[in-house]
Amino acid sequence: MIPWSVIVSVAVVSATIKAAGPVVLRGRTLPPKAIAVVDALAPALLAGLIIVELAGYQWRQVDWTVIPGLACAGALQFVKAPVLISILSAVIITSAVRGIPGA
């Protein structure tokens, strides 16, 4: 079990890092290139998390039944479908693929 002191410490460090940005900038705006980098960080980190969770350690635990559902969610998000619809569709597609014998 993780001690509460570690959880509180991580929360404090996270809050400090988040508060450092506005303190350092002091009301100034970032250059457009820096804003573009910051805007690209969240999707890149999310994509990395999805790949790592999908593939597992050294790509040895790939769950191929998730890929059609992930593709469905990505396609629906590309056409600007609501997030809830995208997630539900991905769950249904993945469940259907897992129900196929031999999949």
- DSSP string for residues in the chain: ---HHHHHHHHHHHHHHHHHHHHHHTTPPPPHHHHHHHHHHHHHHHHHHHHHHHH-GGG-S--TTHHHHHHHHHHHHHTT--HHHHHHHHHHHHHHHHHSTT-
Residue 65 falls inside a structural domain: yes
pLDDT digits (tens, 9 = 90+) for 36-93: 998 899 889 988 888 888 887 777 788 888 889 989 999 999 999 999 999 999 999 9
- Does the pLDDT of residue 103 top 70, yes or no? no
Residue 5 falls inside a structural domain: no
Number of domains forming the structure of the chain:
1
pLDDT-derived band of residue 102, with 50, 70 and 90 as boundaries? low
For residue 46, what are the domain limits? 28-99
Residue 20 falls inside a structural domain: no
**pTM for this predicted structure:** 0.54
Residue 12 falls inside a structural domain: no
Residue 48 falls inside a structural domain: yes
- Does the pLDDT of residue 1 top 60, yes or no? no
Residue 1 falls inside a structural domain: no
